[in-house]
Structure 1
Amino acid sequence: MRRKTRRAAAATGVAALVVPLSVALSAGSAAAATCTTSTGPYQKQVEKFLGLKVDGKQSSTDCKAIRAFQTKHLIKPNIGYAGPVTWGVMNLMNKQKAVGKNPNAAGKCPTNKGRIACVNLTLQISWIQDGSKLKYGPVPVRTGRNGAETRTGSKKIYSKVRNHWSTIYKVWMPYTQFFDRGIAFHQVDKSMYAPPGSGGCVNMRKADAQAYWSLLKKGDDVYVYGRKAGT
């Protein structure tokens, strides 16, 4: 049953990335530099998010604004189409903002372990708390993509490397803090919303990775819970 569920989730994730053929064609051969004239299924929602005129009709102004958002967050194709991937990112941002300064309102991250780093995969946020007191965050993070999911459960930081070289991805990973068999908190120089996700690690912005490096030490607890959309 679990295998069937994962296959269905994977299929849903792939479907969400599909852009209608008519839209792809309207973008022309230089899709990366062209705005589509097609109205997307989430046009009104996207217009509202971006502070545009909410009329549900694609305009050149709409397209340029949507395309700028897509380019910033590495959403492809970046042709200004208000599709499910673009709206999915915006909707996630809305949900993250709604959390405010009470990320553990549901009490899912343990409050009886002292200092602990919490990771909510569903909302793609992380924070550090000491007991029930919030010490840092919440901040947006980028966790594992489908097939390389960030594993859930109770963990502990077991290694800290100021600038780790990944032999798998051939990149430097600043402020790396390993907590689960090769999975770590670390800095990346890209948007936290870039699909489809990491190779399993919890990606962070530079300032957040630095803060985690300063606040956490070997042996500190980490708790990961929830489920990332599309995994």
Structure 2
Amino acid sequence: MGDLRRRGVAALAVTALVTPLTLALGTAPAGAASCTTKTGPYQKKIEKFLGRPVDGKQSAADCKAIRAFQNKHGITPAIGYAGPVTWGVVDLMIKQKAVGKKPGKDGKCPVNKGRIACVNLTLQLSWIQDGSRLVYGPVPVRTGRDHYETRTGLKKIYWRHIDHVSSIYHVPMPYSQFFDGGQAFHSANLSMWNPPGSHGCVNMTKTDAKKYWSLLKTGDRVFVYGRKPGT
């Protein structure tokens, strides 16, 4: 009984130390709805993107808006902090939007291969073109994370399986179109901006994966280039 009493006192002491530290960091205790009061290094830029008053100072409303964005795109920890990970997602969205309907203006995806699916890893965009004519896209994609990079180069779709399930990760991969080993276009039930990325496949929304399925066929070319941010 004495040991149990001593353990209880020790536990209370630890709790007493941790709780003030948690509050000092600007977050609520575990179990409560945590929202930081700290101003992040990208506060103004993220406030502007989210349509918040741009004053560079964290407010309860700012935190709520940033947390909602983080939760939508699977950014953790979702505490409303305007930090580098959240800014990385916002910055990518801004750059993707700037491309508009001219994803091939950099001239890097071949225009002499007929119908081809292009993947720009740097901008996390994909599209289908026929010669220099844009057929579909560009659409946001989620490619391989660090150490699982989507491999670059000119490839061909060699196998398609509409109801594929990964034999490695045991997860559904609907509308799979394989172009390099186990790497494929397929739909994924999460945000295309969810960090850090896939295990090598080119993730797409269901709508876009279905469209790629209808437009491409076995033997069509795929060209992957660039470098995903953070890899």
TM-score normalized by structure 1?
0.89
Q: Measure, in 2, the Cα distance between the counterparts of 1:195 and 1:32.
A: 25
**Equivalent runs, 1:19-58 vs 2, <5 Å:** 25-30=25-30, 33-58=33-58
> How far, CA to CA, are the matches of 1:25 and 1:194 in structure 2?
26
Give TM-score scaled by structure 2 length.
Answer: 0.89
**Unaligned ranges ≥5, structure 1:** 1-20
- The match for 1:133 is 133
- Aligned partners of 1:58, 1:146: CA distance in 2, in Å? 32
Partner of 2:3: none
Distance 1:166 1:114, change over 3 A: same
Q: Give the match for residue 178 of structure 1.
A: 178
Q: Which 4+ residue blocks in structure 1 deviate beyond 4 angstroms?
A: 21-24
Structure 2, unpaired ranges of 5+:
1-20
Structure 1 counterpart of 2:223, one-letter code: Y
Contact 2:160/2:176 (<8 A) preserved: yes
Percent identical among aligned pairs is 71
1:123 maps onto 2:123 in alignment: yes
Judge conservation of contact 2:23–2:29 (CA < 8 Å) in 1.
no
1:230 aligns with 2:230: yes
Please say if 1:188 is aligned against 2:188: yes
Range 28-37 or range 97-106, more displaced = 28-37
Q: Partners of 2:33 and 2:24 in 1: how far apart? A: 12
What's 1:92 paired with?
Answer: 92
Matches within 5 A, 1:97-176: 97-176=97-176
CA RMSD of aligned residues (A): 1.5
SS of the residue corresponding to residue 25 of structure 2 reads helix
Q: Residues 144 and 32 (structure 1 numbering): CA distance in 2 closer, same or farther, change over 3 Å?
A: farther
1:163–1:24 Cα change, 3 Å: farther
Q: Choose 1 or 2 for highest CA Rg.
A: 2
Residues 181-217 of structure 1: CA deviation (Å, up to 9, x unaligned): 1100000000001110000000000000000000000
Give 1:77's aligned residue. 77
How many Å apart are 1:170 and its aligned residue? Answer: 1.0
